[in-house]
Each structure stands twice: as structure tokens, then as C-alpha cells.
Amino acid sequence: MGEFDLIKRFFTRPTTRAALGVGDDCALLVPQPGMQLAISSDMLVEGRHFFPDVNPRTLGHKALAVNLSDLAACGARPLAFTLALALPAADEAWLAPFSQGLLAMADTHGCELIGGDTTRGPLNICITVFGEVAPGQALLRSGACAGDDIYVSGNLGEARLALEHRLGHLRLDDATLTRCAARMDSPNPRIALGLALRGIATSAADISDGLLGDLGHILERSGTGATLNTALAGELMPNAPASLVSTLSFVLSGGDDYELVFTASPGSRAAVEDAAQKSGTAVARIGVIDAAPGLRLRDAGGALVPNTYTSFDHFAP
Ligand code: ADP
Ligand code: MG
């Protein structure tokens, strides 16, 4: 199977939302008049983001899901994506499930594959997603104000639990492993919540590197600080194994969660609840934005908890 055969068989689909898809030198996208394009890229590298023996179907799902998560954080509606793929070999037994997982996720969110690049090399997947959002409606990292509530969607820390199990650092029972592995391998981007939060959230980010790190980006861009209630944050991992001593560390800095962290004014609590309901996504209020810079952790009694948690950084010394 040659390069163009491979593209035709596994990555060429009719497009309805683009004026031109796979097969020419460029694809042509047609944003609705007056809408802004939201664009984001994420790369997945073997050995860095996934194990060499990862299931190709879930890898296809996850490669697009982590990109869609950025559109969710922005409150953008998915339109299309491109796929740049380096493959060690044109292996049908790998390409078929990979493309199925990828295109199923694409269908779920109405996001069409419109182009890409294919080359031989160590397995590497780079996706660029395109979404649309009305001017002034995008959720940014920079809008948090002192006094705003801080919210998180879903649960945190379970993907990290699965990772630690696979690395042999701890042992999960079968039921817990199944649940956590699904979180690690097949995250579901919070597109519906992101869309529902437009006009309500003052800032948002998706949680890929860990809650504290990604909230830290909001604080930096907004020029604010924050205080988190560790008791409330602890509740974000309701089914933690009893043997786990570091529940809070996995919640605060586990990574690979693909949930949203966002802020909204206390006057918007009913609207946030409504957005959560409408989008079928649980949200929890876990802290408050402060005028004073820095991130403080307090327990249920209000006592300061030392912040020794670090989020993931590819180039941390
Ligand atoms: P060019 O040589 O102009 O860069 P290519 O020959 O690499 O174009 O690709 C041919 C067509 O196939 C283009 O439309 C390109 O967008 C598309 N394409 C290449 N690789 C992929 C892929 N992995 N997924 C989807 N489309 C792809
Ligand atoms: Mg090319």
C-alpha cells in the first residue's frame, strides 16, 4: 500500500461542512459569515504521550479528543481538523482501528477530516482543529476577576491512577482499573459544557497537565491569585482506592484529565448550574479567585495546606 492509497483508504471521507476536503493541495473551509475561527494543535508522540503497545483505536480517539478539548475550553464549536501522521510502516492492521477510533470521535462532534500529511517515521500524530465562535464569545484564560468562583467539571485524577498502575507504581483492582483506564485512554472532550458556558464563564482552560498548572495559566493571564478548598477538591475523586495515600496530589496535579477549569462571578451560580445541566456535565465549585497573586490551598477548617504539587512540564529541569 503506497502513501496515496493509504490516505484514500483510511483518511478520505466526503465533507459536508468544508468546500474542499482531502485530495488537493489545500482544503477550503467556509466559516459562517462574521464568525471567528478557533485554531489549536496538539501532538502525540510515542513514548511521551502513549505506550508503544497502545490500542490503535483508543489512540485515534484520544488524538482527536485532546485537540477538541482545547476547542471546548474556548467555547468554540468544532468544524474540521487536519492530521499530520508519521508512521513506521503502512500497517493495515494498525491503520484500520486507528482511523475508526479517530473518525468515530470526529463524527460524535461533527468535526470533519479535511487534510493532513503522511510520512514514514517514528509514530507521531499531530492534529490541528478548527472551530468557530462568535466575536467576543470565546472563553479566554485572561478573564478571571477577584471574587469569581472557581469550578471544575467531572472528576480528576483517574487517568493518573491508570498511568501509575501501568507503570507498576500501584495496583488497582479490576473494576477501578477499567474505569480509570477508560479515563486515560478515551477522554471525552467537554464540548457541550464549553458551548453552554459562553457568556457565563469569565475564564476557562482545559486540564491536560494537571489542575494546579492549568489553573495557574488562568491566574497568570488574568493577573490574579486563587484559594482552593482542598476538602472540596478531594471530592473530585469520589472512588479513590482506599489504599491511595496521595488522592489530593492526583486530583491537583495528576494530568491527562481533559476536564474544564473555569471561573464565573458568584452572581452566575444559577446560570453555571443550568449550563452544567443542559450539557449533562457535573461541575463542582472548589475555590475563589483572589486579587493577591499566588495559589493558596486551604483545608475545610481554613488552615493553609502546603502546596508541594507540581504539574507536568515537558522541559522541567
Ligand atoms: P502535498 O504534497 O501537496 O503536501 P500530499 O501529497 O501530502 O499533499 O497529500 C495529498 C492530499 O492528502 C492532501 O489533500 C492532504 O491534505 C491529504 N492528506 C495527506 N495525509 C493525510 C492524512 N494523514 N489525513 C488526511 N488527509 C491527508
Ligand atoms: Mg505533503
Q: How far is the CA of 118 from the centre of ligand 2 (A)?
A: 7
Nearest CA to ligand 1 atom 22: 116
- Tens of pLDDT, residue by residue over 22-78, are 999 999 999 899 999 999 999 999 998 998 899 999 999 999 999 999 999 999 999
In whole angstroms, how far apart are CA 162 and each of 35, 184, 186? 40, 7, 12
Cα separation, 3 vs 86, in Å, equals 11
Maximal C-alpha separation, the chain: 65
Alpha-carbon distances of 193 from 139, 185, 258, rounded to whole Å:
12, 21, 12
CB neighbour list of residue 317: distance below 8 Å, 6 or more residues apart: none
**CA of residue 206 to ligand 1 center, whole Å:** 29
Q: Report the separation in Å between the CA atom of 83 and the middle of ligand 2, taken as the mean of its atom positions.
A: 11
- CB 148, CB 275: distance < 8 Å: no
Task: Please indicate whether residue 110, judged by its CB atom, sits closer than 6 Å to ligand 1.
Answer: no
CB proximity list for 246: less than 8 A, separation 6 or greater = none
Ligand nearest to the CA of 98: 1
The pLDDT assigned to 177 comes to: 95
Give the C-alpha separation, 68 to 71, whole Å: 5
The set of cell numbers assigned to 263 is 471561573
Q: Which residues contact 155 (CB under 8 A, 6 or more apart)?
A: 183, 236, 237, 238, 259
Q: Are the CB atoms for 62 and 102 separated by under 8 Å?
A: no
126 touches ligand 1 (CB under 6 Å): no
Q: What is the Å distance from ligand 1's center to 87 Cα?
A: 14
Residue that has been written with the C-alpha cell 477550503 in this structure: 28
Ligand 2 centroid, distance to 59 Cα (angstroms): 23
* pLDDT tens digits along 148-188: 999 999 999 999 999 999 999 999 999 999 999 999 999 99
Pairwise CA distance, residues 8 & 23, whole Å: 8
pLDDT, position 312: 75
Decide whether any atom of ligand 1 lies within 6 Å of the 116 Cβ: yes
Tell me what pLDDT residue 238 has: 84
Residues 228, 152: Cα–Cα separation, whole Å: 11
What is the tens place of the pLDDT at every residue in 255-313? Answer: 999 999 999 999 999 999 999 999 999 999 999 999 999 999 999 899 999 888 877 77
- Please state the pTM of the whole predicted model: 0.95
Q: Among 117, 123, 125, which residue has the most ligand 1 atoms within 8 Å of its CB, making it the best to mutate?
A: 117
3-class secondary-structure state, position 224: coil
Is residue 22 in contact with ligand 1, taking CB distance under 6 Å?
yes
- Average confidence score pLDDT of the chain: 95
